[in-house]
Every structure is written in C-alpha cells, then in structure tokens.
Amino acid sequence: GSMDANVAVLGTESVGKSALTVRLLTRRFIGEYGDIESIYSHSFMVNGREISLNIWDSPYSEKKVQWADGYVLVYSICDRASFNSVSRLIQTIRSKKDYMNAAKVPIVIVGNKRDLHHRRTVLSEEGRLLALNTDCHFYEVSAAENYHSVLMVFHGLVDRMKDAKLTMKRPLGFKGIVKSMSAVFARRRTDSL
C-alpha cells in the first residue's frame, strides 16, 4: 500500500535546510533561498510502493515536532554550534513524542556542506558516533553538489518510518498551504503560516 507521512527538516540557521528540501523536490540547487517556510508535498516510489511526504522545512518549533512523523536534523560540517544543537534536538523530539519506544522515533542526522571540506570543523566520525549513540541514521551530503545523496537521506528516513509502522493514510493537516515550487523560484516571502 501507500504511505503518507509528515517530515520536519530541522536545524539551526543557514545549515542548508531549504537547499536540501529544494534539491529533493526539484533536483536543483539555486543558491539563495530567502525566507522560505512552507510545507511541500512530494511523492516517489520506493520498492514499488508509493510514498507521499509532506515536508516542512523551517527553524525549530514545538508545533512542528508534534506534527511530524519523521525528522531530518541538519547541521553544517563547518558549524560546530549547529552540530551541538542536533543532539539537543534529538533529546527534545524524544521527550515530546509519545511513542511506545522513544528510540524508535524516525530520525536521520545530516551533515551538510560536504563540499566545503577545507572549512570543516566537525569530523565525519563525530556525526557517525552521535548517530550510533542515539540510534539514528547518519549521512554526510552536499546539497550544493549532489542530488543522489540527498535522495538517500529521504529514502533512509522512509525506511525508518516504515519500521515505525506508520502506514495509515490520512489527509494533510494544513489545508491549502501546500505551496507550489514556483514560490521558491520567485523567492516570494511565504508568510501565510
């Protein structure tokens, strides 16, 4: 059957949340993203099954943590503070989500801006270790350079959400605010939330 799930892309400022989301949806990197805050709907096939994701790309808020079924937690490999905030986010999500088993909340950790290795301040091993210790998936990617690795992030999350037995079909909770990608390319402020 198909799966319909809500995904929150979270992380501190300028780590590339919009870049990752736009890369997934359009396969493109457009450089500057402005103050985009929208929910996007995106469907793809995984092992012959249609997966429909509602993706909310935005700074942290409690409302989004409640809304989401799965989380993409993004930091920049050039920004130590953004990495530190990821472990705090994991704690927050696990304390706020009412799962039978908190360890099962589907979370993937993403170290972005891999292309900027000359400015790296967070080692790959540190990301991998954090993921190991918190039972999350881990990816290092470059939204700027690569579509495939970004796709793998969302496939990994879908796998985790399937494990969490999230199979019910349900309507999008925020009627009428799914923006078309033209809003992104027009770099329009989307303040209707």
Ligand X SMILES: Nc1nc2c(ncn2[C@@H]2O[C@H](COP(=O)(O)OP(=O)(O)OP(=O)(O)O)[C@@H](O)[C@H]2O)c(=O)[nH]1
Q: List contacts with ligand X (CB under 6 A).
A: 11, 13-19, 31-33, 59, 112-113, 115-116, 142-144
**Spatial contact of 5 and 56, defined as CB atoms under 8 Å apart:** no
The residues near 124 (Cβ < 8 Å, ≥ 6 apart) are 77, 111, 140
Burial class (CB in 10 A: 0-12, 13-18, 19+), 150: buried
Give least dist CB 59 to ligand X, A.
5
Give least dist CB 119 to ligand X, A.
9
List the 107-112 sheet strands across, edge first: 38-46, 49-57, 3-10, 70-76, 107-112, 137-140
Looking at the Cβ atoms of 116 and 181, the one nearer to ligand X is 116
Give least dist CB 2 to ligand X, A.
29
Looking at the Cβ atoms of 60 and 104, the one nearer to ligand X is 60
Looking at the Cβ atoms of 96 and 187, the one nearer to ligand X is 187
Give least dist CB 72 to ligand X, A.
11
Looking at the Cβ atoms of 54 and 142, the one nearer to ligand X is 142
The residue with its CB nearest to ligand X is: 16
Strands 49-57 and 3-10: parallel
